[in-house]
């Protein structure tokens, strides 16, 4: 290894990497060296320091955020708003992005999360396939194929694309499906040390769904959207199997409220529910994580007995294309997540960890909302639009999500009769 590289490793207390060199071929050493030279060690040092400090939020800066409750909008108003949305969608100005760059560590599925198979009332379905089902329904309704962009990570891009090829894009128009890859950051252990992966390279992971702004701009797809006349883009997670991401009501409401960003929420079930909620911080839209919301604020209710901070973020976001253009260079704060990760031991053995052992640094898509004065928030019914697959079992697991999905499918059948 070149002196320069060794010096960098020593300067940043990462010289343990040198202990692995005997395990590596010349080719692997070369790749590792190239990787080391690309790492921003100063940034990594700062990030590790953030894991050692408590963050605190001053209560006085947090306020309630206004929202509209879908259940309280009159039928007449709904029709008017939906008409606005339907016109935009049917004239080809609407696209969808699915964020699928995550590692899905809690679910513990060895392949990309979207390739997870569920046993539903409509038969066995992959998470990605459920998204295609919604796109196909829209195809029938609007007589167009809505463009679909999928954000992957370097770790899962190849497998994701291969999966779609193998399944022939579940008979959706392949030319309308595009993939783009997000950025990565090294993982570090509790002592701030880099770890190696099975390929004997430094283990890196996607840098959080906030990486979307830079990734979509760099991919050239934003420019392509502009050329194709796309104005509105709905962005959601790969793992909510009830996501209603082609929603003319939300679109119409956002246009009518003259906003450029919107999101859907569901009502928080109780003050202790471990979810992020919308609020205003320093007058700007913000999502505050349950851990950062002081208990008395979490319990505060309005004159109708409703939680003041009760709008749960379900990761259903609507953006005007120009917002994505404006945010292309945004620098978002990093949040450290403590996760499980396999690593290469110095004797060459690959060890799977059965408990969290590394810090992963992530930016969040919603941390950019504060750049805007206001956003539209539409409260929808949880049982209609929110069934996340996060954990292997218990809450938000395949079992709970499928049961919500099945109930919704049955309700749809009854309503269509
Ligand atoms: P989560 O934060 O739930 O993470 O992602 P995850 O990767 O699915 O699961 P865990 O936490 O490792 O168990 C919410 C959404 O954001 C995407 C995920 O794919 C999911 O759709 N995401 C997350 C990205 O696209 N990139 C990331 O770097 C992180």
**Is residue 158 a part of any domain in this protein?**
yes
Site to probe by mutation for ligand 1, drawn from 99, 102, 353 as the one with most ligand atoms within 8 Å of Cβ, is 102
4 assigned to some structural domain? no
pLDDT confidence of residue 359: 96
pLDDT higher than 90, residue 53: no
Residue 345 has pLDDT above 80, yes or no: yes
CA angle 386, 387, 393 (to 5 degrees): 150
For ligand 1, whether the C-beta of 210 sits within 6 Å is no
Sign of the torsion formed by the C-alpha atoms of 39, 41, 47 and 51: positive
Per-residue pLDDT for 390 more than 90?
yes
Distance 119 CA to ligand 1 centre (A): 22
Confidence check: pLDDT of 1 > 90: no
pTM of the model: 0.92
- 174 falls within a domain: yes
Q: Which residues pair with 316 in a beta bridge?
A: 236
Q: CA 99, CA 210: separation in Å to the nearest integer?
A: 10
Distance from C-alpha of 259 to C-alpha of 232, rounded to nearest angstrom: 11
- Tokens describing residue 307: 């939680």
pLDDT tops 70 at residue 54: no
Let me know: does 261 contact 278? Beta carbons within 8 Å: no
Q: What percent of the chain lies above the pLDDT cut of 70?
A: 98
Distance (Å) from CA 386 to ligand 1 centroid = 16
Pocket test for ligand 1, best of 237, 387, 392 (most atoms within 8 A of CB): 237
Model confidence at 60: pLDDT above 70: no
The tens digit of pLDDT for each residue in 149-175 reads: 999 999 999 999 999 999 999 999 999
What domain range is 128 assigned to? Answer: 39-416
How many structural domains are present in the chain? 1
pLDDT mean across residues, the chain:
95
Cβ–ligand 1 contact at 391 (below 6 Å): no
Output the pLDDT for position 416. Answer: 82
Q: How far apart are CA 182 and CA 177, in angstroms?
A: 17
Give the pLDDT band of residue 51 (cuts 50, 70, 90): confident
Band (58; pLDDT cuts 50, 70, 90): low
Q: Ligand 1: which atom is nearest the Cα of residue 98? A: 21
Q: Is residue 171 part of a domain?
A: yes
Is 276 a pocket residue for ligand 1 (Cβ < 6 Å)?
no
Interior/surface letters 108-123, b for 16+ CB within 10 angstroms, e for the rest: ebeebbbbbebebeee
Helix (H) or strand (E) holding 3: helix 3-11
Alpha helices in 12-153 (DSSP H): 26-38, 41-51, 75-90, 127-142
Q: What's the Cα-to-Cα distance from 181 to each of 133, 196, 401, rounded to whole Å?
A: 24, 22, 27
- Cα–Cα distance for residue pair 37/12, rounded to 1 Å: 13
Residue 169 covered by a domain: yes
CA of 100 to the centre of ligand 1 (A): 7
Mean predicted confidence (pLDDT) in 298-313: 96
Instruction: State the average pLDDT over residues 45-49.
Output: 92
pLDDT digits (tens, 9 = 90+) for 142-154: 999 999 999 999 9
Assess whether the C-beta atom of 156 lies below 6 angstroms from ligand 1. Answer: no
Residue nearest to atom 23 of ligand 1 (CA): 102
Q: Cα–Cα distance between 74 and 181 in angstroms, integer?
A: 42
pLDDT of residue 256: 98
pLDDT at 417: 78
Ligand 1 nearest atom to the CA of residue 339, by list position: 12
> Where does the pLDDT of residue 195 fall: very low under 50, low under 70, confident under 90, or very high at 90 and above?
very high
Distance, in Å, from the CA atom of 390 to the CA atom of 21, rounded to the nearest integer, reads 37
| Ligand 1 within 6 A of CB of 209 | yes
The alpha carbon of residue 139 and the mean position of all alpha carbons in its chain are separated, in whole angstroms, by 25
Q: What is the CATH number of the domain that holds 297?
A: 3.90.550.10
CA of 102 to the centre of ligand 1 (A): 4
Above 90 in pLDDT, residue 415? no
For the stretch 266-295, pLDDT in tens is 999 999 999 999 999 999 999 999 988 999
CA distance 8 to 14: 8
131 lines ligand 1 (CB under 6 A): no
Instruction: Assess whether the C-beta atom of 103 lies below 6 angstroms from ligand 1.
Output: yes
- pLDDT score, position 50: 84
Atom of ligand 1 lying closest to residue 388 CA: 3
């Amino acid at each position: 290894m070149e002196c320069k590289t060794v010096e960098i490793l020593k300067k940043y207390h990462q010289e343990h990497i040198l202990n692995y060199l005997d395990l590596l071929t010349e080719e692997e050493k070369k790749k590792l060296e190239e990787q080391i030279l690309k790492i921003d060690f100063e940034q990594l040092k700062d990030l590790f320091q953030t894991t050692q400090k408590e963050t605190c939020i001053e209560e006085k800066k947090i306020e309630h955020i206004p929202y509209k409750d879908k259940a309280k909008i009159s039928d007449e108003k709904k029709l008017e708003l939906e008409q606005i949305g339907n016109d935009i969608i049917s004239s080809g100005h609407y696209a969808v992005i699915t964020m699928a760059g995550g590692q899905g560590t809690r679910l513990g599925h060895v392949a990309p999360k979207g390739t997870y198979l569920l046993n539903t009332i409509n038969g066995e379905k992959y998470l990605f396939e459920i998204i295609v089902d919604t796109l196909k329904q829209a195809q029938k309704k609007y007589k167009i194929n809505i463009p679909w962009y999928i954000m992957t990570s370097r770790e899962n891009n190849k497998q994701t694309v291969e999966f779609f090829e193998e399944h022939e894009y579940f008979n959706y128009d392949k030319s309308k499906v595009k993939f783009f890859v997000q950025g990565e950051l090294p993982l570090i252990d509790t002592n701030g040390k880099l770890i190696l992966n099975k390929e004997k390279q430094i283990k890196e992971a996607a840098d959080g769904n906030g990486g979307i702004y830079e990734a979509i701009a760099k991919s050239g797809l934003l420019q392509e959207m502009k050329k194709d006349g796309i104005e509105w883009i709905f962005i959601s997670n790969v793992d909510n199997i009830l996501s209603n991401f082609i929603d003319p009501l939300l679109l119409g409401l956002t246009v009518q409220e003259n906003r450029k960003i919107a999101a859907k929420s569901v009502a928080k079930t109780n003050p202790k529910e471990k979810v992020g909620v919308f609020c205003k911080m320093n007058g700007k839209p913000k999502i505050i994580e349950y851990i950062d919301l002081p208990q008395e604020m979490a319990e505060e209710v309005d004159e109708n007995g409703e939680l003041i901070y009760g709008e749960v973020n379900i990761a259903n976001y609507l953006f005007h294309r120009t917002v994505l253009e404006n945010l292309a260079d945004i620098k978002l704060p990093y949040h450290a997540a403590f996760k499980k990760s396999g690593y290469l031991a110095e004797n060459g053995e690959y060890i799977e960890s059965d408990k969290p052992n590394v810090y992963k640094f992530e930016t969040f898509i919603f941390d950019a909302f504060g750049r805007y004065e206001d956003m539209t928030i539409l409260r929808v019914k949880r049982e209609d639009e929110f069934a996340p697959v996060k954990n292997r079992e218990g809450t938000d697991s395949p079992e709970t999500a499928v049961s919500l999905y099945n109930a919704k499918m049955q309700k749809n059948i009854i309503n269509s009769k």
